[in-house]
């Protein structure tokens, strides 16, 4: 599928700009190539050590702009190093090769080159060449998105570079740490390391590291949603960089920002620039990112043919980046690295063994002297062993007896608690439930005689409703309480509207309150969102409202209203009833049955279970319960429920210093 005419014009403009940009850079490279071509005319050029740094310098200059050319010169440097038997130069060449393969996205080959550096360095003191290899191995892990595995590698490399005062490489280490923290959603730590990298890059006049750090700072701000800062850093890179790789990254970064801001034409323009440069350098990762933005941006603007083209292009890039075979090969190379480290440990152990042999004579003499002491101690141990064994057996039996005793005591307590529960249930069934049921039975018999007027029948039916509601609430409380005694209480909390539940329940109690001549008012109109178990909340409100009506005289008032603080909504149930004595308040939430239950103002019965359940359910839902009451002056029960909280946890600040 061919690109649109507009897209072809953009590519032509980019081609022209690239020629202008590369002119000064080409002059520098031309000088280096000229020196190298002159050196090659010497028949002994392969044996001259000065040629290796020259070739490596050419490879370094080409790395970010023409990675394939960089790889070719790095291999030439490796060949010259082997010809001159220069292990140090060979390691430098391998590091250069590893870096190019990383840029090209060929992570298995990059890891192999770095592993060879460590193998060549086995048995030597670590130096900046080893630090460079470790840093590149971290880059490979980073390229596989194994950020947590990469962080220790970059820190190890940074420690080596600090020890040898290699400040230019420290900039790269800190950039890589910044990338890891950015990708693991720790922007503060990422910006900390990236700004340190900028400082070292400026100090050492390393433009590539400076541009890379600026790009990553822009990327961090983009991930954090700070698009203004991201644009500033990306545009600064485009303005100052001479590095095609960083220019590609900055353009793709701008494309992503503009896409998020719905500026799709700007996104297409910058993504096209990034794709052109990525293809020029044969960098698959950048090309994949650019083609993805182009596909999505063209789709948003309705250019579906272009969107389909770049979608397929993106798929091809993604498929070629990393396969399972490469993953297995990298794991194998990691094993080779461990083998190199083990070889170093073997050499270290040999040195330690030599020291041990020097001390063996001293140990033998000490051993002879100690032998007599050991014989004496063995005699004492042997004579006391039987006694110790007997003591151990006795202690074990004592412990078993104690454990058995504790188990029996626990079972007795459980049995007593179950018996108490049974007794209370039987008491309630035999006393508190009989009265309302007998009342209903008698009224039913009277209704059957058909000797009442319609008005009187209505009064009797309303009495039925009151008595049945009372029995229902008693049974409900009794079942909840019995279950809590046997199994404990577990709250299934969710987000609920406390105001809606209270309105629903007050509609039920409106008839009871009206029959008793009590005003029932709910002052809350707006939703009140809390985190609680809806069934348990209903039991709490039912019992508080039911008790308020029960202990309020005719003509009284029961109010429901809410207030709040930072963490809780508080439900207030306030009545103008008979109030509660101080002595009774102390036992209000612990005692049940006849010891605490009293008749209401219209001789209503109760079990005393309701407030116990209110207390237990409030605690199970993470709330608090408060009682304000004076005898003869009414009561106010205040229940606190946890609010719905929307918040973001800040990541811990993570850095070495």
Phi and psi at residue 558, to the nearest 5°: -120, 120
349: left (phi over 0), alpha (psi -120 to 50) or beta: alpha
Q: How confident is the model at residue 464 (pLDDT cuts 50, 70, 90)?
A: low
Q: Which CATH architecture has domain 489-642?
A: 2-Layer Sandwich (3.30)
Listed in sequence order, the residues at least 6 apart from 519 whose beta carbon sits closer than 8 Å to its beta carbon are 513, 556, 557, 558
Higher pLDDT, 439 or 549: 549
Distance CA(223)–CA(183), nearest Å, equals 9
- With bands split at pLDDT 50, 70 and 90, how would you rate the model's confidence at 368? confident
- Give the contacts of 262 (CB within 8 A, at least 6 positions apart): 300
118 pLDDT more than 70 = yes
Sequence ranges of the domains in the chain: 42-124, 329-432, 489-642
At CA 57, angle to CA 52 and CA 58, rounded to 5?
A: 100
Rounded Cα distance, 98 and 109, in Å = 7
Place of tokens 């080596």: 160
HEC readout, 341-379: HHHHHHHHHHHHHHHHHHHHHHHHHHHHHHHHHHHHHHH
How many CB atoms neighbour CB 7 within 10 A? 18
Contact 255, 297 (CB under 8 A): yes
**What whole-number distance in Å separates Cα of residue 607 and Cα of residue 478?**
8
Return the pLDDT at 350.
57
Specify the CATH architecture of the domain 42-124.
Answer: Alpha Horseshoe (1.25)
Average pLDDT, integer, range 555-579: 92
Mean pLDDT of all residues in the chain? Answer: 80
Average pLDDT over residues 517-538: 90
Q: Which residue shows structure tokens 């007795």?
A: 412
Q: Is pLDDT at 244 greater than 60 in this prediction?
A: yes
Q: pLDDT by residue (tens digit) across 416-459? A: 765 665 565 555 555 455 556 655 655 666 666 666 666 666 66
Stronger pLDDT, 319 or 153, i.e. the higher one: 153
Alpha-carbon 76 to chain mean position: 47
Give which of 203, 216, 205, 146 is closest to 174, Cα–Cα.
Answer: 216
Percent of the chain with pLDDT over 70: 74
Nearest to 172 by CA among 162, 183, 163, 186: 162
Confidence (pTM): 0.45
Looking from the CA of 520 toward its CB, the CA atoms found within 13 Å total: 23
Single out the residue of 144, 142, 121 nearest to residue 131, CA to CA. Answer: 121
Confirm if 547 and 596 have CB atoms less than 8 A apart. Answer: no
Please give the Cα distance from 555 to 557 (Å, whole number): 7
Q: Are 96 and 54 in contact (CB under 8 A)?
A: no
Rounded-to-integer distance, Cα 215 and Cα 237, Å: 7
396 has pLDDT over 90: no
Say what the pLDDT of residue 348 is. Answer: 59
Angle, nearest 10°, between helix axes 5-40 and 51-62?
180
More confident residue, 474 or 520: 520
Across 92-106, 282-296, 306-320, 353-367, least confident range: 353-367
Using DSSP, state whether 169 is helix, strand or coil: helix
Tokens describing residue 140: 């490979």
Q: CA 356 → CA 190, 363, 369, 487, 562, distances in Å?
A: 47, 10, 19, 65, 79
Q: Which helix (H) or strand (E) holds 289?
A: helix 284-300
Nearest to 645 by CA among 620, 617, 622, 624: 622
Kindly calculate the radius of gyration of the chain based on its CA atoms and give it in whole angstroms: 41
For residues 273 and 294, the answer to whether their CB atoms sit within 8 Å is no
- Residues paired with 624 in a beta bridge: 640
């Amino acid at each position: 599928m061919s690109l649109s005419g507009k897209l072809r014009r953009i590519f032509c403009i980019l081609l022209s700009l690239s020629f202008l940009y590369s002119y000064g850079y080409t002059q520098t490279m031309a000088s280096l190539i000229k020196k190298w071509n002159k050196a090659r005319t010497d028949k002994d050029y392969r044996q001259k050590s000065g040629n290796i740094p020259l070739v490596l310098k050419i490879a370094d200059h080409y790395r970010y702009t023409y990675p394939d050319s960089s790889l070719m010169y790095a291999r030439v440097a490796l060949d010259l190093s082997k010809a001159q038997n220069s292990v140090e130069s060979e390691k430098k060449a391998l590091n250069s090769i590893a870096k190019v393969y990383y840029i090209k996205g060929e992570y298995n080959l990059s890891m192999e080159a770095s592993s060879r550096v460590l193998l060549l360095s086995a048995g030597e003191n670590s130096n900046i060449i080893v630090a460079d290899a470790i840093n590149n191995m971290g880059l490979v892990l980073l390229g596989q998105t194994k950020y947590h595995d990469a962080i220790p590698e970059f820190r190890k490399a940074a420690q080596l570079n600090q020890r040898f005062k290699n400040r230019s490489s420290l900039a790269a280490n800190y950039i890589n740490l910044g990338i890891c923290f950015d990708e693991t959603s720790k922007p503060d730590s990422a910006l900390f390391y990236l700004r340190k990298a900028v400082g070292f890059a400026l100090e050492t006049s390393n433009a590539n590291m400076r541009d890379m750090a600026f790009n990553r700072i822009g990327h961090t701000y983009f991930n954090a949603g700070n698009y203004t800062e991201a644009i500033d850093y990306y545009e600064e890179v485009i303005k100052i960089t001479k590095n095609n790789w960083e220019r590609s990254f900055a353009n793709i970064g701008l494309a992503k920002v503009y896409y998020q801001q719905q500026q799709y034409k700007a996104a297409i323009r910058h993504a096209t620039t990034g794709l052109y440069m990525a293809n020029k350098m044969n960098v698959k990762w950048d090309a994949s990112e650019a083609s993805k933005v182009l596909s999505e941006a063209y789709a948003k603007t309705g250019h579906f043919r272009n969107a389909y083209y770049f979608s397929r292009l993106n798929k091809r890039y993604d498929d070629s980046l990393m396969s399972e075979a490469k993953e297995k090969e990298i794991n194998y190379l990691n094993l080779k690295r461990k083998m190199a480290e083990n070889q170093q440990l073997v050499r270290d152990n040999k040195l330690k063994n030599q020291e041990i042999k020097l001390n063996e004579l001293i140990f033998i003499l000490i051993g002879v002297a100690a032998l007599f002491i050991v014989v004496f101690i063995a005699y004492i141990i042997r004579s006391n062993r039987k006694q110790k064994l007997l003591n151990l057996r006795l202690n074990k039996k004592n412990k078993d007896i104690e454990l058995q005793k504790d188990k029996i005591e626990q079972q007795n307590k459980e049995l007593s608690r179950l018996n108490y529960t049974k007794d209370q249930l039987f008491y309630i069934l035999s006393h508190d439930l009989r009265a309302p049921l007998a009342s209903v039975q008698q009224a039913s018999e009277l209704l059957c005689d058909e000797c009442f007027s319609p008005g009187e029948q209505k009064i009797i039916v309303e009495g039925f409703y009151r008595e049945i509601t009372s029995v229902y609430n008693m049974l409900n409380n009794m079942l909840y309480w019995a279950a809590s005694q046997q199994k404990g209480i577990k709250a299934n909390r969710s987000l609920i509207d406390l105001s809606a539940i209270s309105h629903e329940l007050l509609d039920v109690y409106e008839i009871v309150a009206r029959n008793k001549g009590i005003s029932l008012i709910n002052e809350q109109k707006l939703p009140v969102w809390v985190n609680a178990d809806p069934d348990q909340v209903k039991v709490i409100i039912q019992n508080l409202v039911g008790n308020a009506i029960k202990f309020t005289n005719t003509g009284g008032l029961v109010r429901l209203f809410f207030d709040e603080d930072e963490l809780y909504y508080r439900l207030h149930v306030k009545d103008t009833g008979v109030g509660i004595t101080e002595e009774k308040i102390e036992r209000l939430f612990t005692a049940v049955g006849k010891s605490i239950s009293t008749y209401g103002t219209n001789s209503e019965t109760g079990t005393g279970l309701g407030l116990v359940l209110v207390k237990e359910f409030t605690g199970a839902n993470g709330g608090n319960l408060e009682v304000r009451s004076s005898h003869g002056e009414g009561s106010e029960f205040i229940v606190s429920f946890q609010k719905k909280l929307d918040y973001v946890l800040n990541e811990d600040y993570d850095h070495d210093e």
